[in-house]
Chain A
Amino acid sequence: MSAFEYLLLMGACVLITLPLELFFRARVYRRWRTVLWALVPVIVVFCLWDVVAIARDHWVYNPRFVTGIHLGNLPLEELVFFIVIPLCALLSYEAVGTVLTAVRRRVRRGSLPHTDSSPRPASRSGPHERTDRRPESEGGGER
C-alpha cells in the first residue's frame, strides 16, 4: 500500500473537504465549468513549475510512496495534487463565504450567533434574505 501513500493523502484531502460542498453550500463541484476556468491555467502553470523543478533537481519523489506512473517526467501524484489542492482552496473559500454571509445576516438582524448552533447558515429562517442563488441566476448555466 505504501506506493499509494501520496495518492491516499490526496484522497483524504478530497474526503475531508467534501462536507464543505454538502453541508456548507460551497457549490464548487456544481459549478464545474467555472472550476475549469480557475483550475486549468493553474494546473498548467504549476505542472510546468514542477517539471522545471524536477529537471533542475530541486526535489525528487521517494519511489516507496508513489506509484511510479509518470506523464513525461511529472509523477501522476503531482498532477493529482494540482487538481485536489486548488479544489480544496475553492471549497474553503466558498464555505467561508457561506459562514460569513450567515454571520453578517444575523448581526444585521441583531440576534446572537449562539441562538443557533447549527453550522449551516440560517438561510430558510429570515423573511428578507436572498434565496440561495440558483445556478441560473449566475448566468452561464452552471450546474
Chain B
Amino acid sequence: MSVPEYTIMTVIGMILVVGLELFVFRSGIFGRAKYWAALSICLVFQCFVDGWLTKLSDPIVIYNPQGLSGIRFPWDIPIEDFGFGFAMITAVLMLWQWRLNRHAVASGGEST
C-alpha cells in the first residue's frame, strides 16, 4: 500500500462533500463570506482542540503511523485531520443552509 488509508479516506471525504454541495444540495455556502469566515475560525480552533487530542507527549488519540502520511502540523496534528474537519464542518453547514433555504422558500422570506 503506497498511499496511507486515512490520507485516502480524507481526500475522498473532501471530494464527496464538495461534490454533494455543488451537484446535489446547492445550498450556496461556497458563495458566502459567512461560510469562509466560519470555516477559517473553526480551523483555527481545531488547532487547539486537535492539538490537545493529538499531542505526542500525552496523546488522547494515538495514530497508527502506517495509516497516515506522517506530516504533522501544527504541533503534532496529522495534516489529514484538517481534511476530516473540513469535510465535517462543510457537511454540517451545507445541510443547515440547505434547510434554511427551504424554510425561506416555504415562508416566502429571505435566507440569512
Chain A partners chain B: yes
Stretch touching chain B among A35-43, A111-119, A121-129 = A35-43
Query: Given B61, B64, B85, which contacts A62 in the complex, CB threshold below 8 Å?
Result: B61
Are B53 and A58 in contact, with the CB atoms below 8 A? Answer: no
Are A37 and B99 in contact, with the CB atoms below 8 A? Answer: yes
CA distance A57 to B100 in the complex (A): 38
Q: Min CB distance, A132 to chain B, in Å?
A: 11
Q: Does chain B have a CB within 8 A of A9?
A: yes
Q: Does chain B have a CB within 8 A of A49?
A: yes
For chain A, the bracket of interface size reads 35 or more
Q: Does chain A have a CB within 8 A of B30?
A: no
- The DSSP consensus for interface residues of chain B is helix
- Chain A window 56-71, contacts with chain B (Cβ cutoff 8 Å), 1 for yes, 0 for no: 1111111001100000
Are A137 and B67 in contact, with the CB atoms below 8 A? Answer: no
Are B60 and A89 in contact, with the CB atoms below 8 A? Answer: no
Are A133 and B60 in contact, with the CB atoms below 8 A? Answer: no
Are A96 and B99 in contact, with the CB atoms below 8 A? Answer: no
List, in ascending order, chain A residues with CB within 8 A of B52's CB: 9
CA distance A23 to B96 in the complex (A): 21
